[in-house]
Amino acid sequence: MSKIAIILGSTRPGRNGMAVAQWVYEIASHRNDATFEIVDIADYHLPLLDEPKGAASGSTQRNILRRGRKK
């Protein structure tokens, strides 16, 4: 039997992904051809992913610190 991870991929403060992951899990758990598990990457230490805004905004802590060093 296959084991499938439902990955909760956001670590941002105020994230809403757990509700979506649980919704997917509830629907998927009715299947009998696989088992499912929610994997929350916030449970792992991934400091590059804990920014309040995405990298495309240009205002991540990492970018702000980098700009401050160039002055």
Residue of 45, 49, 25 lying closest to 37 (CA atoms): 25
pTM above 0.85, yes or no: no
6-61 pLDDT, tens digit per residue, is: 999 887 778 889 999 999 999 999 999 999 999 998 888 766 655 666 656 666 55
Query: What is the rounded CA–CA span in Å between residue 53 and residue 61?
Result: 9
Check residue 42 and give its pLDDT: 86
End-to-end Cα separation, the chain, in angstroms:
57
